[in-house]
Amino acid sequence: MIYFDNAASTAVHPEVVKEMIPYFDIQYGNPSSIHQFGRKAKSAIQKARKQVAALIGAEPDEILFTSGGTESNNTILYGIPKSQGPKFVLNHIITSSIEHEAILEPCRDLEKNGVKVTYLSVDEHGIINPNDITNSINPQTVIVSVMFANNEVGTIQPIKEISKICNKYQIPLHTDAVQAVGKVPINVEELGVDALSISSHKINGPKGVGALFIKKGLTIAPEILGGGQENGMRSGTENVASIVGFGKACEIAKERLNENISHFQTLYSSMLSKIVKEIPHVKLNGNTEKRIFNNIHLTFLGVNGEDLIIKLDEHGIAASTGSACSVHTQKASHVLKAMGFNHEQITGSLRISFGYMNTLDEVDQTVEVLKKIVAELRSVSPYKTKYNF
Ligand SMILES: *Cc1c(COP(=O)(O)O)cnc(C)c1O
């Protein structure tokens, strides 16, 4: 089996599993309890908070643990308008048209309640024009949220340029960095962002845990009320074992960042050059430089991407057409649409996403299989005559 769907989720690192286990069967105390069991659990959370903060250059008390990327995004998008009190319905939000559904759906929901949302367009590589932000800002704008790296095509946005604009107008900037963390160096201070979302299961940590970086001084309304955990921002007994695992995953991601980046670049160049050499009528999508290199997004003209996934799966290779989350809705990718792709280009798309464990040998095997199944599918394609397959 070859797993090339690391943008959807990743294997939990063995060292992470090892760190987590004692928090199920030995250190099971409630972090709010004052006895030894409680204190141990509490200090484990504090250690994890430091590990997460260190990965992105934040202070530990700027880290809010959540249930993952989706919750982090929801927390900031609702938390900012809600902190304005009843006048929140007058608020305006700026985001992009290629965000993950975990940004777009909350925005659509806020719109139903009267909030105005601007969805910025992107160029053919999936990059927004920072000038569009300047032009969209109005006195009601309460937050700008632009993703760091796109989960489908891997393109990176000019976050630093965007943050300069936001800082100038004193509007908080949030970035969904779920796909970028561990793939590029990230320092919240250098970037000048006010909030940033991370998910554990995209960086070899357990599922169902993540974090929202909230810069000191930024006020947001709490999300879940109750016993006052997470500094009153998210009540409920903490998911100690998962938080511990997430912390360890962040520590490993930081230690091995450069090593992983160069590994991804090696796999990326190798796969790309082989595909281009072996398979005709292939288009590489997204920006070729401003990107995360664990992602390759391609269009095989005249082929249905879903057929390709199924055939790859029959050969023991796991890949994706794009966002795992859009599978439920069966809608054509909003990202590729925003990039101006036509129906044929959208249909023929394939996303390969690498993890630290993938090898050059797996790349070779996959290209061989791709070559074979693309030819098979094209031999019965309705586009057969168009391309002279
Ligand atoms: C996976 C993903 C999310 C959602 O994270 P979960 O932890 O699965 O909720 C949000 N944004 C992006 C860009 C993602 O890739």
Say how far apart CA 130 and CA 115 lie, in whole Å: 22
Q: What is the pLDDT of residue 368?
A: 98
CATH topology of domain 14-255: Aspartate Aminotransferase; domain 2 (3.40.640)
Measured from the Cβ of residue 129, the count of other Cβ atoms closer than 10 Å reads 14
Q: What is the pLDDT of residue 328?
A: 55
Domain with CATH 3.90.1150.10 in the chain: 2-8+257-376
Q: What is the pLDDT of residue 388?
A: 82
Buried b / exposed e along 314-345 (16+ C-beta atoms within 10 A): eeebbbbbbbeebeeeeebbbbbbbbebeeeb
151 touches ligand 1 (CB under 6 Å): yes
Mutational test site, ligand 1, from 100, 105, 107, max ligand atoms within 8 Å of CB: 100
141 in the Ramachandran plot: left (φ > 0), alpha (ψ -120 to 50) or beta? beta
pLDDT in tens, 254-285: 999 999 999 999 999 999 999 999 999 999 99
Model-wide pTM > 0.85: yes
Percent of the chain with pLDDT over 90: 91
Domain with CATH 3.40.640.10 in the chain: 14-255
Say how far apart CA 208 and CA 9 lie, in whole Å: 11
- β-sheet bridge partners, residue 93: 117, 143
Q: What is the pLDDT of residue 386?
A: 85
210 touches ligand 1 (CB under 6 Å): yes
pLDDT in tens, 141-188: 999 999 999 999 999 999 999 999 999 999 999 999 999 999 999 999
Q: Which helix (H) or strand (E) holds 197?
A: strand 195-199
Amino acid of residue 195: A
Q: How high does pLDDT run on average in the chain?
A: 95
Q: What is the DSSP letter of 289?
A: S
316 in the Ramachandran plot: left (φ > 0), alpha (ψ -120 to 50) or beta? left
Reply yes or no on whether the pLDDT at 325 is more than 60: no
Measure 54 CA to ligand 1 centroid, in angstroms.
21
Q: Is 250 a catalytic residue?
A: no
Q: What is the pLDDT of residue 51?
A: 98
Q: Lowest mean pLDDT of 84-93, 199-208, 217-226, 325-334, name the range.
A: 325-334
Q: What is the pLDDT of residue 389?
A: 79
Percent of the chain with pLDDT over 70: 98
Reply yes or no on whether the pLDDT at 215 is more than 90: yes
Backbone angles phi, psi at 66, to 5 degrees: -130, -170
Q: What is the pLDDT of residue 327?
A: 52
pLDDT in tens, 76-118: 999 999 998 888 878 999 999 999 999 999 999 999 999 999 9
133 touches ligand 1 (CB under 6 Å): no
SS (H, E, C) 290-344: CECCCEEEEEECCCCHHHHHHHHHHCCEECECCCHHHHCCCCCCHHHHHCCCCHH
CA-to-CA dists, residue 262 to 179, 268, 294, 340, 362, angstroms = 17, 10, 10, 31, 17
Say how far apart CA 177 and CA 138 lie, in whole Å: 25
Domain 2-8+257-376 coded CATH 3.90.1150.10: yes
Measure 139 CA to ligand 1 centroid, in angstroms.
30
pLDDT in tens, 328-362: 556 789 999 999 999 889 999 999 999 999 999 99
CA-to-CA dists, residue 63 to 16, 176, 198, 327, angstroms = 20, 14, 10, 31
350 touches ligand 1 (CB under 6 Å): no
Strand 2-3 relative to strand 349-353, pairing: unpaired
The answer to whether the beta carbons of residues 80 and 172 sit under 8 Å apart is yes
Say how far apart CA 349 and CA 306 lie, in whole Å: 8
The answer to whether the beta carbons of residues 82 and 76 sit under 8 Å apart is no
Specify the residue for token string 């940590």.
205
